[in-house]
Amino acid sequence: MGRTYLRVPRVQRLEYLEAFLKSYQDSEFNEERAQQSVQQAIHRLEVEKAKALGRKRPRTPRGANTLQECKRLAMHLGFIDRFKRLNPSTVRELDLDRSRSLLLERTWRAYPRFRQVVLAARDIGILELPVYDWDPFRQNGGFLYDLDFDRLNFEAIRSLATQLGLINWYPTDTAPKRQIVYPAASVATLREAICLAGRPVEQEASTQQRLHQTALDLNLLAIRDGRYEIQSRSKPETRGYMILQTDSEQVFVKDHDASTEEFEQALWKEYLTLSGMRPRFPVLYPNLRNRVCAVLRISDRVFDHHLLSLIQRPQRLDIYPSGGVLNYAANLAHLIKFLPPKTSQGNFIIYLKVDRRST
């Protein structure tokens, strides 16, 4: 008989979990109030999607299923107990934007299959999977990287891991549709790092190289006579890593990033590819972001931060943002992932035009 795991609830957006938790008053749950709070969060996002698509009316989903999934996620992560009572510490943790490390720690602890997907992306580098037809793909001998669950469960894990910044992904334009999933953060466990001790450095595989860099960054290992050696320090140096403490393990997480020069080089190269080598030719923001993030192995949030900073303080490139309508009808199921950021005036940046700055 196979092992059973907690299913990752299909909440889609962490904003819905936050709305659910904020519906509590004096730590008491009320079904009607919670339903209304979640519906309002869904409606706000549907309004944003409609604006980006140039539609006058947003969709009006009821959100009843989302509420039930929010309950399950909140219970699995320890925010509420099985009687739907708010745990006392949750009151201090309601701002999920400032609680990423807490969410990562509890998610890593609660969901083995979440860990499986994140570590598979880390170890293999790129997961190429079907977007929709998993069963026919599996029956025809397609390789699913030992992911022994269905597409809907994978999408729930992918959504959560993407929002938490551990992986990123994009759909291909080829037929049949494929999705490319890749790591957007360095992830290593203490046990993995310690297991490198005594191994020759020159024989490391790609996975060991990533673990090696993490272990050296944190001063867990040193190199002596061409081999890894355990450092005597009792506590690792953080150096920009988040340290997650699970029941029996420490997990080290650090977002992938790029220097301004690396980001500009990748941006310019991918922009010219999309624009047909034409400077100042408009390209869709999500398309350019997908390409640059895949090259640099960064999250959408890191891309947006670099791009907006360069618009405000140009370096080697002139970047011209403009509005318009997001033509993503073919990807409506994943539209939330592809929403671009807004300008200071509250307008979506739909298109980008880029050119080299004159010296």
pLDDT single digits (tens) 26-40: 888 999 999 999 999
- With cut-offs at 50, 70 and 90, classify the pLDDT of residue 72: very high
pLDDT tens-digit profile of 194-219? 888 888 886 656 666 777 888 888 88
pLDDT for position 234: 56
- With cut-offs at 50, 70 and 90, classify the pLDDT of residue 226: confident
pLDDT average, residue stretch 208-236:
81
Distance (Å, whole) CA 51 – CA 10: 25
Of the given ranges (83-92, 162-171, 295-304), which has the lowest mean pLDDT? 83-92
pLDDT tens-digit profile of 236-280? 777 789 999 887 889 999 999 999 999 999 999 999 999 999 999
Q: Residue 64 pLDDT > 90, yes or no?
A: no
Which residues make beta-bridge pairs with 219? none
pLDDT average, residue stretch 155-165:
96
Residue of higher predicted confidence among 18 and 206: 18
pLDDT for position 222: 87
Residue of higher predicted confidence among 19 and 343: 19
CA-nearest of 343, 337, 40, 339 to 160 is 337
3-state secondary structure of 275: helix
Of the given ranges (118-122, 153-157, 355-359), which has the lowest mean pLDDT? 355-359
Q: Residue 330 pLDDT > 50, yes or no?
A: no
pLDDT tens-digit profile of 90-140? 766 666 556 888 899 999 999 999 999 999 999 999 999 999 889 889 888
Any idea which residue has 């020069």 for tokens?
Answer: 261
DSSP states of 289-328: HHHHHHHHT--HHHHHHHHHHHHHS-SSEEEEEE------
Beta-strand ranges (E) seen in 83-177 are 127-130, 167-171
Per the prediction, the chain carries an average pLDDT of: 89
Q: Where are the domains of the chain?
A: 14-97, 111-184, 187-255, 260-356
pLDDT for position 358: 83
Q: Which fold has domain 111-184?
A: Arc Repressor Mutant, subunit A (1.10.10)
Residue of higher predicted confidence among 280 and 173: 280
